[in-house]
Structure 1
Amino acid sequence: MVDYTVTVATTDLATAGTFNNVFIKLVGTDGESQHTWLVSLKGPLCFYSGAVSSFTVTCSVSIGKLILIEIGKKPHFIFPEDDWFPANVEVKSPEGDTYNFPIYRWITDSEVHRFKEGKALRVFEDDHHLGRYSRDQELKQRGEDYCWDEYLEGIPHCMRSEDPLDLPCEVRFSFTKTTEFLFTAATGLAELQLKGLSDCTENWPNIDAIHRVFCCKRTDISDYVQEHWKEDAFFGYQFLNGLNPMLIQRCSVLPKNFPVTDDMVSLGGQCVLADEMEKGNIFLCDYKRLDGLKTNNINGKKQYLMAPLVLLHKTPDDQLMPIAIQLKQTPADDNPIFCPTDSEYDWLTAKIFVRSADFNEHELNVHLLRTHLLAEVFAVSLLRNVPMVHPLYKLLVPHTRYTLQINNLARALLISENGVFTQFAASGGEGMRTLLKRSLSSVTYRSLCIPDDIADRGLEDVPKFYYRDDGLKLWEIIHRFVQGVLSFYYKNDTEVQKDTELQKWISDIFEHGFLSQAGTGIPESFTTVAELVKFVTMVIFTCSGQHSAVNAGQFDYAGWMPNSPISLQRSPPTTKGTTSEATMLQTLPAVNATVQGMSTVWLLSKQSTDSVPLGKYPEEHFSEKKPCKLIEDFQGELQMFSAIINARNKNLEVPYTYLDPMVVENSVAI
């Protein structure tokens, strides 16, 4: 008789433990054990949250090298069936070998579940028939659990699910996350209703009245925005380091539909526009994707959303100052080009229309499409096509945490027929669908890779561009980590090419995420290790750093509504000299639209207490020493980078924190 020591660890999440009876079978190359009931003196506390319990499984002879375990649970006659979330199982063999079986899955039924030993195996090296069978069965079940669906024609596909309860337990919010999310949403709405604001369809009587909304919910930056939102320097700063740093580009030739002349703009001294463009000091933001969108009706009123063109000038003191704004794409007598020399309210109103356009472009394209929807595609393809034992699964699964549920909630609560964005944003409804389609058609692989994107937009040397500085450094750190891990498993290009599971992952992404559009530059397959490393780097950066950059500051920059109006209810001025404070107040969104928008960005900016920062991996999927050491090095680099960001921010009037690794979450989780 030989004994195997089996140690079972249960995660310390709330509700993770079980009082059910747990059974295990060990499967090896030379045989298998009996199904063994795991029982000890701890009794029902063996598998409580955070418990680590050891047991002995006895076999008549050695069963050889362990390949997998079968584990399951059955209700105790006293306790009803409950859910269990084991972390891992460690087995010490009589020969002195130690085998680790990562689980990190909810077990909610009385079925038998198979888990392979922790050493990563690609499909072409999984040469034992039981291992291959387990692999095939896992992917077959995953294919049934994670089905593709089309939410709207022309945008990335999503996972089929009616509500969060339709999602497999392993991808749902934790108890902590669910409780805090509901509490944040409920308290915000209750506060609005107590103040009588959520149903008020009137206009704001004055700017000071807006202070009543969420007066207790403030951040240092939201206070700064409230104080400086009218200033040209801060207006220009936001194109670099605000919510949407993705639109600005260097301008070497004026667009034909933006006829700005030297006598319109003031560049200081003897500077002329052509010379400043040649020197690289002129920048353009073009909201052409918004042109001609059908806008919303809110409170029975037609809303207005322009497609502006904005020209900016880098001054000798390195400030980015707006010098011209045209609110519609087609030049015309009733489409004046506004400049800082115009009257106070002409210029301020023009900037308000730009900020409203930027809010809608940001929320639907930069935030929803380019992070949330693409992250869901990456996650669903991974879960459908890549088994737990695969190195790619081990590398990427932490970056899928909560994504499927947060997107499910977004479709239900924000962009559905009765969603907040549909009801209260200028681009809600038909306009939203059109903008999402246009946005996907403009997405390229290069635009998702920050080094390529910055180069393509000509922004390599723009001063005080902290999104670029921090983003490029973060990309470099992630790339080095990914290259180390994948190069450990893929020694040459041939191994990449013959990994059918890897190829199916990228093939599904190309088909369901980018609708098989070869013009995007998204690879349809991988032929080299370098291609694989770059793409996986992009996936991790998109799900972590990029999402943080365009999400974490939503309340900071949009909490003060005049800086980012969700909608506008008066058409733009067609003649200069016709605006006033009164017309500006009539243009801003009504009270109910304002407070719905502000409460939403408050909710979407609120991290839960169980958030996991970039590079932290509480679930230990890797077993080999090399990838574990690479994770340690990755964490060390991120910690050093965070210290550098914090030191820099002490000297900034407006700190840029959104790409600080201690702020960035591992996944699109909010």
Structure 2
Amino acid sequence: MFDIKKRQKIKGTVVLMPKSVLDINALNSVSSDGLSSVIDGIFDVVGDVTGQIVDTATAIFSRNISIKLISSTKIDDATGKGKVGKATFIEKHLPTFPTLGDRQDAFNIHFEWDADFGIPGAFYITNFMHDEFFLVTLTLDDIPNHGTIHFLCNSWIYNYRHYTKDRIFFHNNTYLPSATPAPLVKYREEELEILRGDGKGERKEHERIYDYDVYNDLGNPDKDQKLARPILGGSNTYPYPRRIRTGRKASKKDPKSERPGELYMPRDEKFGHLKSADFLTYGIKSLSQRVLPLLESVFLDSDFTPNEFDSFQEVRDLYEGGIKVPTNVLSQISPLPVLKEIFRTDGENVLQFPTPHVIRVSKSAWMTDDEFAREMIAGVNPCVIQRLQEFPPQSKLDSTLYGDQTSTITKTELEINMDGITVDQGLNGQRLFILDYHDAFMPYLTRINKLDSINAYATRTILFLKDDGTLKPLAIELSKPHPSGEQFGPESKVVLPAKEGVESTIWLLAKAHVIVNDSCYHQLMSHWLNTHAVVEPFIIATNRHLSVLHPIYKLLDPHYRDTININGLARQALINAGGIIEQSFLPGPFSIEMSSAVYKNWVFTDQALPTDLIKRGLAVQDPSAPHGLRLLIEDYPYAVDGLEIWDAIKAWVQAYVSLYYPSDIAIQQDSELQVWWKEAVEKGHADLKDKPWWPKMQTIEELVQSCSIIIWTASALHAAVNFGQYPYGGYILNRPTMSRRFLPEKGTKEYDDMVRDPQKAYLRTITPKYQTIIDLTVIEILSRHASDEIYLGERDHPNWTSDSKALEAFKKFGSKLAEIEGKITGRNNNSSLKNRTGPVELPYTLLIRSSDKGLTFRGIPNSISI
């Protein structure tokens, strides 16, 4: 009979990815002599490579990577922790190992084992090489009386000298803290202590420490006092979510601010060398550091190309023929691989962009009132429009500072186009809606309008729901501060729709001012603040306090992929002082400060889509209606599709959470969960920590709702406000980002010029050429999917958990999302739903879950990964 105590071998397989400089495919083609010179300069220990061509991967990695198994069932009495096995080195390279990802490499490893050791539940790994590598998985086969054990690692491993404690990884089992096998308890606690760090010093590249800081790194006062920016976070004046702490040196001129420079982020948060999002996102860095100075010299500092478009056709030439640039400029741009994908040079001295979806069918439909209104519910910013519930519209601004900001729009002006219905009837019948940016912009307009070549309004737009389910704009109110002082209230004018003559041009210009408000609010608030910024504190808290063994860590972790990285890149090149956003969007240096003002009124629980729709007056609770809500605009593509996605997410979270928490008491007794939530609120969102609306995390319902909000925000909400940026905004006429002229007054030269050449008047009002090139380049990058993107309902590894019930629930979630895809396609093909495609004939596909890579106008990634 087989003796279970007999010492035997356990076979394992290690999957890893080398650092890019150690690309195995490249090294495999190196001769033994050439390989020796490479290895001698890189490694401490190498295999035998003399005299013949060898298995390069085996030669490099064997005897350089050791693993020690840790028992989950047997305790070492000397340490009180699970027994640690003998160090074992990885062995032969397995180039044909099945299921390997792109450029991953597999290796054999064999461990000595006997019954006294028990069942492995974790392992230590040691890297003796100078260079780091990315550890993907370890799989142990045929553990006696147990079977296969999977370890999902997905982590960079540096040389052992960088660590004060050995790197540890746990198997893919799931345990609440109280249910953790005794031999693993201390290991679990120690790993979280490492991830929390001590909050001191400047972080180093190899570290994995998660800690909080305020946004004190956006300005650069040491370079120029004009680049000083207020610190966001830590004050009632400028509240803000927290970011990952870097601990860099303080600015000389502002000791509370950090000096700009290379950003620290925990190493595993950085894009891997295989991730094609590197290609996309670091294009932003190349753009800001190398390309924009060149283009600036073309459009702003030379006569080669004037910085104005003179006709709509000249704008379309950006896609149909390209824009000429000097040869010396193009020669410096073309070698940058990331920009070859963005700029289509085709061997000519031109920069050419792909045709935006919004003008692929019709070149002029964007100008219609129907499309103007439709994009408020099916465009790239469909989550701001509200139902008008009082008339005239009121302001919440402090009247002692800003005077009476009540709207000047009259009922008479609205009723001209209300098809015989009065304003009171429209209010009572829930048929009047408003896109209101008045309060967001008015406090900043005095400063904004002092910027060079900027003239802007704060806008209100009132719309009417027609019998066919579409929206019709009734009036636009354009307001600016009173010339005698803000305390005297605004100067406002009301513009009504017109289809002919000079009035139609003024109406088009008024719509442009609305869209400038909308474009800026979208980028700064709907996109950056309400997805990127608010999610980062939850990522930090999760890594500090939820072990990888914790069920909620396993639930949320896929929805954090790459977010800290892309946010760090944004602080370097997009939202920083003098960065891309400040150069090309209306508020300029006040851009992120404005988002701080909006954050004051951010409410976590309102981020749930049903709650958001009810709060904006777009839906009412109705148990008999789908999702328990009745939409007041029945054909509201973002809401209709979004509610199905929301319900699918919440059903998945409910099913998953129920596997681990049988009662509310289990929630309350989960030590990791409680400190996670407490810190996410009190440190991550410290400036709002005393708000009464925060869930107390005492019930299953609160946990399900909170996790659903985090997942929704990081996946579907971000997809809805991100991946339509180029399809709609790539045509600058449709979504301008700057306004440079007020509406011209009769009797002025500007008015006469407008009458003579309406197109030129429009172009002189909106974003000029250089800033347009910036806009188009950036939003094309941001609107693209990476080739290795992981979409909602997918995981990067099939064995992300050992829990078969969780896997089955997740499979149902994926099936439900696939079913929703089909329903969305069906709605887009329903001609009676006029808001689904609109005059531009662009179906609403942003909440279709799946996508190919590139510029697709669809796809819901798991996370905010770009």
TM-score (norm 1): 0.91
Q: What is the deviation of 1:122?
A: 1.6
| Residue 188 of structure 2 corresponds to residue 135 of structure 1 | yes
Kindly provide the amino acid, as one letter, of the partner of residue 404 in structure 1: I
Decide whether aligned partners of structure 1 residues 492 and 4 sit closer, same or farther in structure 2, where only a CA change above 3 A counts: farther
Could you tell me how far apart the structure 2 residues matched to 1:165 and 1:263 are?
57
- State the partner residue of 1:485: 656
Decide whether aligned partners of structure 1 residues 311 and 297 sit closer, same or farther in structure 2, where only a CA change above 3 A counts: closer
Q: What is the deviation of 1:568?
A: 1.2
- State the partner residue of 2:86: 35
Contact 1:251-1:283 within 8 A present in 2 as well: yes
Q: What is the deviation of 1:184?
A: 7.8
| Residue 772 of structure 2 corresponds to residue 594 of structure 1 | yes
- State the partner residue of 1:442: 601
Which of residues 425, 428, 433 is equivalent to 2:588?
Answer: 428
For 1:186-201, list aligned pairs within 5 A. 193=295, 196-197=298-299
- State the partner residue of 1:25: 68
- State the partner residue of 1:122: 176
In terms of mean alpha carbon deviation, does 10-19 or 338-347 score higher?
Answer: 10-19
Could you tell me how far apart the structure 2 residues matched to 1:416 and 1:597 are?
16
Kindly provide the amino acid, as one letter, of the partner of residue 190 in structure 2: Q
Contact 1:424-1:593 within 8 A present in 2 as well: yes
- State the partner residue of 2:125: 71
Could you tell me how far apart the structure 2 residues matched to 1:223 and 1:45 are?
45
Decide whether aligned partners of structure 1 residues 109 and 214 sit closer, same or farther in structure 2, where only a CA change above 3 A counts: farther
Kindly provide the amino acid, as one letter, of the partner of residue 717 in structure 2: Q
- State the partner residue of 1:166: 264
Decide whether aligned partners of structure 1 residues 330 and 187 sit closer, same or farther in structure 2, where only a CA change above 3 A counts: closer
Could you tell me how far apart the structure 1 residues matched to 2:806 and 2:600 are?
37
Q: What is the deviation of 1:57?
A: 1.6
Q: What is the deviation of 1:392?
A: 1.0
| Residue 628 of structure 2 corresponds to residue 628 of structure 1 | no
- State the partner residue of 1:603: 781
- State the partner residue of 1:103: 153
State the SS of the aligned residue for 1:563: coil
For 1:124-273, list aligned pairs within 5 A. 124-128=178-182, 130-144=183-197, 145-151=209-215, 152-153=232-233, 154-161=239-246, 166-175=264-273, 176-182=276-282, 193=295, 196-197=298-299, 202-215=307-320, 216-223=353-360, 226-254=363-391, 255-256=393-394, 257-265=406-414, 266-273=416-423
Could you tell me how far apart the structure 2 residues matched to 1:319 and 1:141 are?
56
Contact 2:661-2:667 within 8 A present in 1 as well: yes
Contact 2:478-2:494 within 8 A present in 1 as well: yes
Of structures 1 and 2, the larger Rg is shown by 2
Could you tell me how far apart the structure 1 residues matched to 2:719 and 2:781 are?
14
Decide whether aligned partners of structure 1 residues 73 and 14 sit closer, same or farther in structure 2, where only a CA change above 3 A counts: closer
Deviations 1:14-64 (A, max 9, x none): 859773332222222335454232344548999995444443322455312
Deviations 1:144-179 (A, max 9, x none): 211211112321110124767622331111223213
- State the partner residue of 2:763: 585
For 1:607-622, list aligned pairs within 5 A. 607-619=785-797, 620-622=799-801
Kindly provide the amino acid, as one letter, of the partner of residue 148 in structure 1: Y
Could you tell me how far apart the structure 1 residues matched to 2:84 and 2:408 are?
80
- State the partner residue of 1:390: 550
Could you tell me how far apart the structure 1 residues matched to 2:451 and 2:384 are?
32
Gaps of 5+ in 1: none
Could you tell me how far apart the structure 1 residues matched to 2:636 and 2:91 are?
60
Contact 1:88-1:104 within 8 A present in 2 as well: no
Contact 2:357-2:728 within 8 A present in 1 as well: no
State the SS of the aligned residue for 2:360: helix
Decide whether aligned partners of structure 1 residues 639 and 13 sit closer, same or farther in structure 2, where only a CA change above 3 A counts: farther
Deviations 1:530-572 (A, max 9, x none): 1000000000000000000000000111111122221111234
In terms of mean alpha carbon deviation, does 25-34 or 619-628 score higher?
Answer: 25-34
Could you tell me how far apart the structure 2 residues matched to 1:574 and 1:512 are?
52
Kindly provide the amino acid, as one letter, of the partner of residue 664 in structure 1: I
Could you tell me how far apart the structure 1 residues matched to 2:564 and 2:521 are?
23
Could you tell me how far apart the structure 1 residues matched to 2:536 and 2:13 are?
32
Could you tell me how far apart the structure 2 residues matched to 1:318 and 1:295 are?
39
Could you tell me how far apart the structure 1 residues matched to 2:131 and 2:761 are?
64
Could you tell me how far apart the structure 2 residues matched to 1:208 and 1:100 are?
59
Q: What is the deviation of 1:88?
A: 3.1
Which of residues 372, 391, 409 is equivalent to 2:569?
Answer: 409
Decide whether aligned partners of structure 1 residues 117 and 347 sit closer, same or farther in structure 2, where only a CA change above 3 A counts: same
Could you tell me how far apart the structure 1 residues matched to 2:639 and 2:154 are?
36
Q: What is the deviation of 1:322?
A: 0.6
Could you tell me how far apart the structure 2 residues matched to 1:497 and 1:456 are?
30
Kindly provide the amino acid, as one letter, of the partner of residue 805 in structure 2: K
Decide whether aligned partners of structure 1 residues 469 and 520 sit closer, same or farther in structure 2, where only a CA change above 3 A counts: farther
Deviations 1:127-151 (A, max 9, x none): 51x4122112211111121121111
Which of residues 801, 816, 820 is equivalent to 1:637?
Answer: 816
Could you tell me how far apart the structure 2 residues matched to 1:140 and 1:93 are?
30
Which of residues 128, 135, 142 is equivalent to 1:85?
Answer: 135
Kindly provide the amino acid, as one letter, of the partner of residue 644 in structure 1: K
Contact 2:715-2:860 within 8 A present in 1 as well: yes
Deviations 1:216-264 (A, max 9, x none): 4124335358522221100110110111112111113221422333432
Contact 1:290-1:305 within 8 A present in 2 as well: no
For 1:274-285, list aligned pairs within 5 A. 274-285=424-435
TM-score (norm 2): 0.72
Contact 2:356-2:731 within 8 A present in 1 as well: no
Contact 1:3-1:94 within 8 A present in 2 as well: no
In terms of mean alpha carbon deviation, does 195-204 or 492-501 score higher?
Answer: 195-204
Kindly provide the amino acid, as one letter, of the partner of residue 493 in structure 2: P
Could you tell me how far apart the structure 2 residues matched to 1:637 and 1:90 are?
33
Q: CA RMSD in A?
A: 3.1
Q: What is the deviation of 1:505?
A: 1.9
Gaps of 5+ in 2: 1-5, 25-56, 77-82, 198-208, 216-231, 234-238, 249-260, 321-352, 395-405, 483-488, 619-630, 831-836, 851-858
- The structure showing larger relative contact order (alpha-carbon pairs under 8 Å, at least 6 residues apart) is 1
Could you tell me how far apart the structure 1 residues matched to 2:692 and 2:473 are?
33
Number of equivalenced pairs: 664
Kindly provide the amino acid, as one letter, of the partner of residue 2 in structure 1: R
- State the partner residue of 1:357: 517
Deviations 1:283-314 (A, max 9, x none): 01111211121577899724133221110001
Could you tell me how far apart the structure 2 residues matched to 1:171 and 1:6 are?
31
Q: What is the deviation of 1:624?
A: 1.0
Could you tell me how far apart the structure 1 residues matched to 2:362 and 2:187 are?
56
In terms of mean alpha carbon deviation, does 243-252 or 98-107 score higher?
Answer: 98-107
Decide whether aligned partners of structure 1 residues 263 and 592 sit closer, same or farther in structure 2, where only a CA change above 3 A counts: same
In terms of mean alpha carbon deviation, does 417-426 or 4-13 score higher?
Answer: 4-13
Identity %: 23
State the SS of the aligned residue for 1:383: helix
In terms of mean alpha carbon deviation, does 324-333 or 389-398 score higher?
Answer: 324-333
Could you tell me how far apart the structure 2 residues matched to 1:44 and 1:337 are?
70
State the SS of the aligned residue for 2:862: coil
| Residue 696 of structure 2 corresponds to residue 537 of structure 1 | no
Which of residues 10, 16, 20 is equivalent to 2:15?
Answer: 10
